[in-house]
Amino acid sequence: MHALTMTRRSLLALTVAFGAFALAGCGGGGGNSSNASSNDRTAGENANANDAGSDQLVVGFSQIGAESAWRTAETKSIRGEAEERGIDCRMADGANDQANQIRSLRTFISQGVDAIILAPVVKTGWDPVLREIKEAGIPVVLVDRGIETSDPSLYATLVAADFVEEGRQAAHWLVKTTGGNATIVELQGTTGSDPAIDRSRGFREVIAQHPDMRIIRAQDGDFRRENGKRILETILKAEQPGTITAVYAHNDDMALGAIRAIEEAGLKPGVDVHVVSIDGIRDAIESVANGKLGCSIECSPLLGPLAFDAVEKLVKGEAVEPRTVVPYQVFEREKAAAELPERQY
């Protein structure tokens, strides 16, 4: 048993949560609570798995959901890394709902996990539950998205990309490609989420410097491919033909949906409408290589190694950096074609 958590565990040994929220082992089970495998556990069944005195590290992972290919890749990375390190990682899929995530965090407290990895769906509203976690002496590693808090000591570290810079990079590409003249639709990520806020901010900061670049529509597509398609279909029908010349999507899935809508409207993506997005998922890299998606700014979801490096340090009582910035890459056609055979996600 890890020294740091011994007292907490013995204190929590009698606490059993009988919440109905399903938790799936990170090393097995499905991407969400409805399709999880027989490795699934309920909170009641699994409270204090280390009570038997095992040395195995137990980590609760509160995942947002499975809204995009990016997120599926992130889940896989975290599960895979836990398995490799012999960590008992319990994943709770929040189905894109903060209330579900908060419930699962409380379940992790009652189970006396050694650490918690949290991918927060939205930016605000975490302080009360994070305070409870802190009082229980459990370190928190935030992955992929940041939060707004009145007390930064409520979490140990954040491992995530610089979303503002990603937005800026997307805008620079669009300015370069359109010669600084475009009528843009912005497909936004989940309202209130860190990437939706910051990707919009970075993009708009650059676009504002170009008077002939105009964002005429901005809509929340919740990072989902089907929403990207539906929103663009509606906009293309509503606007005069030829009005929309560019689409900026906060993630690749929405961009790929938009490309489908553009083609179904009889237009050519990359010619009639330029599309730029963020993530760098395999389907997007392929689309860039084929000249449909103009550019994808990579935001790596392979966060498992960095997240568990931090977890392992924290449970040993070692210091961690408060922030690790995951670097981006810009994929245009030539680079995408070269990357395709190697693409991991």
Rule CB under 6 A: say whether 296 interacts with ligand AHR: no
| DSSP structure class, residue 235 | H
- What is the rounded distance in angstroms from the CA atom of residue 93 to the CA atom of residue 56? 22
CB 306 within 8 A of CB 159: yes
- Contacts to ligand AHR from residues 170-209, by CB under 6 A: 195
Rule CB under 6 A: say whether 61 interacts with ligand AHR: no
- Contacts to ligand AHR from residues 83-102, by CB under 6 A: none
Task: Using CB under 6 A, pick the residue from 170, 299, 307, 336 that binds ligand AHR.
Answer: 299
Distances, alpha carbon 97 to alpha carbons 117, 133, 315, 337, in Å: 16, 19, 28, 37
Rule CB under 6 A: say whether 145 interacts with ligand AHR: yes
Rule CB under 6 A: say whether 126 interacts with ligand AHR: no
Task: Using CB under 6 A, pick the residue from 70, 173, 203, 331 that binds ligand AHR.
Answer: 70
Tell me the site size for ligand AHR, rule CB under 6 A.
12
SS3 state of residue 59? strand
Which alpha helices (DSSP H) does 47-190 contain, by range? 69-85, 98-111, 127-135, 163-178
Task: Using CB under 6 A, pick the residue from 279, 298, 312, 339 that binds ligand AHR.
Answer: 279
The pair of three-digit structure tokens given for residue 230, joined into one six-digit string: 């539906």
57 or 336: whose CB is closer to ligand AHR? 336
SS3 state of residue 309? helix
Stretch that binds ligand AHR, among 67-75, 103-111, 317-325, 330-338 (CB under 6 A): 67-75
Stretch that binds ligand AHR, among 32-40, 62-70, 264-272, 310-318 (CB under 6 A): 62-70
CB of 213 to ligand AHR, least distance (A): 23
Rule CB under 6 A: say whether 331 interacts with ligand AHR: no
∠ CA 56-61-66, nearest 5°, is 140
- What is the rounded distance in angstroms from the CA atom of residue 222 to the CA atom of residue 187? 9
CB of 25 to ligand AHR, least distance (A): 22
Q: Which residues contact 241 (CB under 8 A, 6 or more apart)?
A: none
279 phi and psi angles, rounded to 5 deg: 140, -55
For binding to ligand AHR (CB under 6 A), which residues are involved?
A: 67-68, 70-71, 144-145, 195, 223, 251, 278-279, 299
